[in-house]
Structure formats: structure tokens, C-alpha cells
Structure 1
Amino acid sequence: MPRFRRPHSPVHLLLRQVAAAALVCLALVLALRPPPPGPAGPAAATTPVVVATVDLPAGTVLTAGDLAEAELPIGLLPSGGTADAERLTGQLLAAPVRAGEPVTDVRLVGPGLWSTVPAGQVAAPVRLADLAVATLLRAGDRVDVLAAGAAGPTPSPAVEVVAADALVLTAPTPAVADGPAAGAPAGGGLLVLAVSPDTAARLAAAAATATLTVTLGRP
């Protein structure tokens, strides 16, 4: 004789559906939960280095207020850096330095800068006729130096390229903020260029007889 199962009550069916939904939600939460943090690894080794506290233009004479000590990972420390701020105080910047950037030897006027002169070349000073032009240049620029001088009886001066594709080692920046001399470059507009010895001789001769200017090329 067949037996008939009594249908479940609506209450039992609702409870089972609620329990199933709860299990699904729990499984979803467990699946999305981030893994527990593992044991902390060793901290990266750091070393102290002197950095600029503010943006500094080329030609700045460094003071104690321009410098601060920071800790950098050893692997990110540039060559030529130092932890001795007193050693840098009073030195002249040959190139701009950004705030937070380590102050290295190649940013300074001195042996570190001269080490950037390519082999077979020398550092030659050049004073431009238009001092404001000198402040447009930065270390690392490439310039052609033009000499303009009288060409005998002709009314127009002759212009000659006396140095081509010369590397700028140092460039002045405006030193006077106001007054009649506002914008006058530090050092009287003196550039220092890396050129061959023959070109350095031509520059010296041209400076004695002509006015000098530059055209800016690709760095």
C-alpha cells in the first residue's frame, strides 16, 4: 500500500531558504576577505644624504638653510652625494637643483664639475655681449658661439661661428631682484663651455676683437 509524504509547511520552507541564503553570503564574505598579513620583511637599508630644501637655480651660493639631511635607500643614492652639509655650505651651484634632490659633486663648481668635461676637451670661459642671454642657458645645454666684428669698410659686421655644439658646464642666473641692476646675472654673464683646445684658442681670440653671443641647440 503506497505511503504518501505529508507536504512541508510553508514555515519550514522559508527557514530552509533563509539558511541557504545565509550560507551563500558567508561563502562570499570568506572568498572576498583579504589574506592575513604575512610577517613583515626586513626594512630597506638607508643612508643619510644632504638634499636641497627648496628649488635652487644655478649660481646659488649654498647656505645652511638651503640644505637638509634625508634618509634614502642605499640603492637609490646617487654617486657624489654627501651627508656633510657643512662641507657644501658656501659652494656655488653649477646647475639647478630641485627641492628634495641630493646635492652631488657634479652640481657644484669644482672638481666634480670638471670631471664632466669630455676627454680631449677643456673648460673655456666665455663672456657674452648680451648678459641677459646667458641667464637663458643651463648646464647641459648645447650652444653655438657666434663672434660679430667689423669687416673692414663694409657697413655690416661679419659673423663667424667660433664654437659649434659646445656643452655648457655652468651658466649664471639673475642675481639682483630689483633696482637699476635688476636681472643682472651673477658673475657678469660668464659661461663655462666644454670645447676642444683649438676651439678654446679661437674663443679667446674672438673675445679680444669681437662681441660674442650664442644660439641654443638641442641638448
Structure 2
Amino acid sequence: MAHAPSRRRDPHGTRSLAPSLGGRLGARLRPDLIRSDTARRTAAVVLVLIAVALFVRDARVAAGEPVVVAARDLTPGDVLTDADVRIVDRPGSELPQGSVQRIDGVTGRTVAAPVRGGEILTDLRVLGPRLAAAAAGSPDARVVPVRLTDTGVADVIREGDRVDVLTVRGHDTGGSTATPPSATVLASDAAVVLVSPESSSGTRRERIVMLALPASEAGAVAAASLTDAITVTLH
């Protein structure tokens, strides 16, 4: 005759040592609960780190980035000094492409277009390689200064105008030339990037016109300006 298995009891005889059904289920579920709790804590830590990173990023954006602005209204032909510019912080989203972030990046440079006080300075506001390339549409462009034979022409052309550059051979201001002058086109579609301002003293002086040209044409114009009369025709 089979006997029911006897249940073990603890040494004091008050409690069975055999695992109960609830105990067996708890033993199986407890590791899963521990792993789940660990995963939640890990996710919470990750979320906190992400929140801190976003806060730091937003704080930097709010603080802005240093950028050079005009300290006063500037006119074409002004040569910039430390007193003409200052550093301010502006949000990165407000900074135009090519903005200058160091004062020594513009001091000593010539202003190529009117600039209002407080306006952010860019590499296209001052004479330089970037302005020449943008104006002439050529990566190897150069800015060439020329003095026009007819000084009155400089009074009517403006920054941004397109001109053809001609040299007039045989020109003689004294009228003693033996042959009529002949014009040779040295460059076409040159961009006027600056016309030197008129003399503030009221005396008439030669005004310099700065032209942006591809390197090959710039060299020809610069060489001819040393010996020949130079004029331009407007488009």
C-alpha cells in the first residue's frame, strides 16, 4: 500500500521545508522583476543624460557666438580700424554665411559697400578674395585699381555696375598726337566693387575704380594702366 510522501519540517517541527507552489512561482518571477527594474533605472539615467545634453546645447545657442559688427555707419572706401568695429554675441541661427568672428579679420581692410551701425560684417562687405570671386564669378578673380582717363566717368558709375575696360593707345592730353587714338578691349563684363569717394576738401582729384576680374584679364588691365590711358564703357 502506497504511502503519501511525508513533508519535511523545520528542526522545530512547526513548518514544512518543502517549497510551496507560491514559493516556486516567486522564485521564477523574481529574476525577471529584478531585470525589469534594472532596465527602468538604466532608461531613466539615459533620459537624464539626454536632457542635460539638450540643456547645455540650448544654453550655448541662447548665449550666441561672437561676431564682428560695425560700431557706426560705414561708407565704401573706409579703411577699418579697431574703433570702427566691435564684437557682440548673436544666436547662431542669425549669423549670415561668411560672417567675420575676429576683429583682426577686417581691420586694415577697405569697406566695399555701405554698412549700417550694428550690422554684421561678412567677407563680402570688404575688399578681399571672396568679394572678388563673388563679383567676377571666377574662383581666381582679382581686384584691380584703375584710374580712368575721363575722371567724370567715375562720378556716374556705382558699385555693382558691369563695365568693359578699354585702353586708348596714342592718347595725348596735350593734343599733339600724330595718329588718332585706337581703343583695345582689355576685359569684358568687369564688376565695379568700389569707387573711391570724392575729396572732402572740395579739390578735384583722380578717383580710383576697383574692378573685379578673372586673373588673366586682371593682369592685362593692371599692366596697361601703368602706361596707357584707361576708360570703361557701361553695360
> Aligning the two structures, in what range does the TM-score lie when normalised by the shorter sequence?
0.5 to 0.7
CA contact (8 A) 2:143 2:210 kept: no
Letter in 1 for 2:107: T
Structure 2 CA distance for partners of 1:143 and 1:83, relative to 1, 3 Å: same
Q: Distance in 1 between matches of 2:105 and 2:226?
A: 38
**Among 79, 96, 100, the residue aligned to 1:82:** 100
SS in 2 for 1:133: helix
* Cα shift at 1:129: 1.8
Unaligned segments of structure 1, at least 5 residues: 1-41
Name the structure 1 match of 2:208. Answer: 189
Partner of 1:207, secondary structure, is helix
Question: For residue 178 of structure 1, what is the aligned residue in structure 2?
Answer: 201
Report matched runs for 1:51-70 at 5 Å: 51-70=69-88
Residue in 2 that maps onto 1:165: 189
2:117 corresponding residue in structure 1: 99
Aligned residues: 169
Structure 1 residues 130 and 153: alpha-carbon distance in aligned structure 2, compared to 1, 3 A threshold: closer
Q: Name 2:66's counterpart in structure 1.
A: 48
Opposite residue 164 of structure 1, the aligned amino acid is S
Off by >6 Å, runs of 4+ in structure 1: none
Report the aligned-residue RMSD.
3.4
Q: CA deviation at 1:64?
A: 3.5
1:133 partnered with 2:153: yes
Deviation of residue 169 (structure 1)? Answer: 3.9
Q: CA deviation at 1:177?
A: 0.9
Distance 2:101 2:143 in 1: 29
Higher helix share: 2
User: Which is greater in Rg?
Assistant: 2
Distance 1:61 1:144 in 2: 27
Identity %: 38
SS in 2 for 1:94: coil
* Contact kept? 1:135, 1:173, Cα under 8 Å: no
Q: Report if aligned partners of 2:166, 2:183 keep a CA contact under 8 Å in 1.
A: yes
Scaled by the length of structure 2, the TM-score of the pair is 0.55
Provide, for residues 84-130 of structure 1, a one-character-per-residue CA deviation record: whole Å limited to 9, x for no partner. Answer: 33553333223332333211223223444455451354444433223
